[in-house]
Structure 1
Amino acid sequence: MKEVLSRVGIGSATVDTVLPTTTLTAGESVDAEVHVEGGSTDQEVDAIYFALLTRYETDDSTRTGVVDKFRVADPFTIEAGERRTFAVTIDVPRDTPVTVGRTNVWLETGLDIDWAVDPDDEDPLQVAPGPRLATVFDALESLGFTVRTAECEAAPGGLFSGSFVQEIEFVPRSGPFSGRLDELEVVPRPTADSLEVGLEVDRRGGLLSEMSDLDERLTRLRFTDESADEVERRLREEIETHA
């Protein structure tokens, strides 16, 4: 009976990932421990799996987006009541969404057990931007912009690859664009050696232009290893061109 119950999750093994911190930086690696505790009966575990997840909006629903997923550990048996600890290294992809605005990111850990409900564990994360994106954020702040909101959305065709992107909405509270722009929408896309940034410049316009979206201008910049001053200069010139 215990074996039957464990297959539907009653008295099954449990799993818990212990991170040194829940604040991570996109592009970094972090060492963690996975604690597995046996249930009321022995169980065969094929693997420990991880998924880094977020939510993104489509035109008609909210979906769970997979930033990354991977498996660790060889198959093993967790005996009833046994406790085992596994040391793992978790790589946080450089394109992990930053947890600002309405963006949530969490780590799901699970045990792959045949013919049973897989036990799992969820850990909410705070994700800070990688160095290049942090420089862009600092430059926009210097230009008088502040973050109003952010969320992940289904990727618009032709802008970037992938099923979803993060859109971060800034508003000019001061500086050279205050009173000239309604908002600036930023879509970052880090790669191994650069950062692509899609910009949507939403100019202040009359009712007609607002209704027809004529006040919006799309552009894109690519950054590699420019200085903070150079990043700010390029952003200012590009926004100025479309303001």
Structure 2
Amino acid sequence: MKKVLASVGIGNATVDTVLASSTVEPGQSVDVEIHIEGGSAEQTVDAIELEVETRCATDDGYTEVDVGRLRLSDGFTIEPGRSDVRTATIDIPYATPVTLGRVEVWVETELDISMAVDPEDRDHLDVQPTPRMRAVFDAMDELGFSFRSAECQIDRSGRYASGRAFVQEFEFHAADGPFRGRVDEVELVFDPAADALTVFVEVDRRAGVLSELADTDERTTSIRVDSTDVAAIRDRLEATIDGFA
């Protein structure tokens, strides 16, 4: 009877993942300990799934998407009332969004147990910008732009990066500086890699109603950032935005 109850989640094994650090940057890795507590019946764990996940906006609301995944496929049996600890290292993909605004990122751990409700655990991550991203944010600040919002959006067409289902969009308002009164907003989308950061820049100009209706007030281009030189990045962004303003 205990096995029957465990199959529907009653007296099931439980899992608790402990992260060595919850603060990470895209491209880094984090060590984890996976603590498994046996339930009221013997159960076989076929695999342990570790997924880095986030929530993205769609036309119909929001959906959860995988950013990265690690599968530990060495099966084992957990006895009733017994404890087991497994260790692993999770790579935080470069495409992992930064947790600014309402953006959330977490590690979800799932025990794959046949004929049973799979036990799960969720641990949130504080994903900080990489040094190149921080340099871009600092450059925007020097140009008088204030951060307004950040959101992950589904990008099935691969407009910004091939092989990725979503992107993170950062929205800035021209609060001061040379673009105040000339630009409504600037939106940035990052495509990060180990050696460089591609920054897609969309400029929403202050234009007339006819231009807005025809979507001719928005222009998009991209620049490559391969250093953390804020002054150099500021000059490139200024020239790029000025060309569309």
| TM-score bin (small chain) | over 0.9
**Partner-residue secondary structure (3-state), 1:134:** helix
Choose which of 227, 230, 238 in structure 1 pairs with 2:229: 227
Q: What's 1:159 paired with?
A: 160
Once the two structures are TM-superposed, the CA of residue 16 in structure 1 deviates from its matched residue by: 0.7
Query: 1:84 & 1:72 partners in 2: Cα distance?
Result: 14
Contact 1:94–1:130 at 8 Å: present in 2 too? no
Query: 2:205 & 2:31 partners in 1: Cα distance?
Result: 45
**Partner-residue secondary structure (3-state), 1:176:** helix
Q: Name the stretch that deviates more: 33-42 or 51-60.
A: 51-60
Contact 1:172–1:181 at 8 Å: present in 2 too? yes
Choose which of 185, 188, 192 in structure 1 pairs with 2:187: 185
Query: 1:101 & 1:38 partners in 2: Cα distance?
Result: 38
1:171 aligns with 2:137: no
Q: What's 1:31 paired with?
A: 31
Contact 1:17–1:32 at 8 Å: present in 2 too? yes
Q: What's 1:47 paired with?
A: 47
Structure 2 unaligned spans of 5+: none
Contact 2:160–2:191 at 8 Å: present in 1 too? no
Structure 1 unaligned spans of 5+: none
Q: If the length of structure 1 is used for normalisation, what is the TM-score? A: 0.95
Once the two structures are TM-superposed, the CA of residue 73 in structure 1 deviates from its matched residue by: 5.6
1:117 aligns with 2:108: no
1:195 aligns with 2:197: yes
Q: CA 1:159 to 1:24, structure 2 compared with 1: closer, same or farther past 3 Å?
A: closer
Query: 1:150 & 1:11 partners in 2: Cα distance?
Result: 41
Q: What's 1:99 paired with?
A: 99
1:129 aligns with 2:129: yes
**Partner-residue secondary structure (3-state), 1:46:** strand
Once the two structures are TM-superposed, the CA of residue 156 in structure 1 deviates from its matched residue by: 6.0
Give the letter for the 1:130 counterpart. T
Once the two structures are TM-superposed, the CA of residue 31 in structure 1 deviates from its matched residue by: 1.5
Number of aligned pairs? Answer: 243
* Percent identity for Structure 1 against Structure 2: 51
Contact 2:70–2:90 at 8 Å: present in 1 too? no
Contact 1:3–1:41 at 8 Å: present in 2 too? yes
Give the letter for the 1:16 counterpart. D
Once the two structures are TM-superposed, the CA of residue 159 in structure 1 deviates from its matched residue by: 3.1
Give the letter for the 1:223 counterpart. V
Q: What's 1:141 paired with?
A: 141
| Post-superposition CA distance 1:53-100 (Å, at most 9, x none) | 111122223211110111126211111111112222121111101111
Contact 1:108–1:121 at 8 Å: present in 2 too? yes
Q: If the length of structure 2 is used for normalisation, what is the TM-score? A: 0.94
Give the letter for the 1:197 counterpart. V
Give the letter for the 2:145 counterpart. F
Q: What's 1:209 paired with?
A: 211
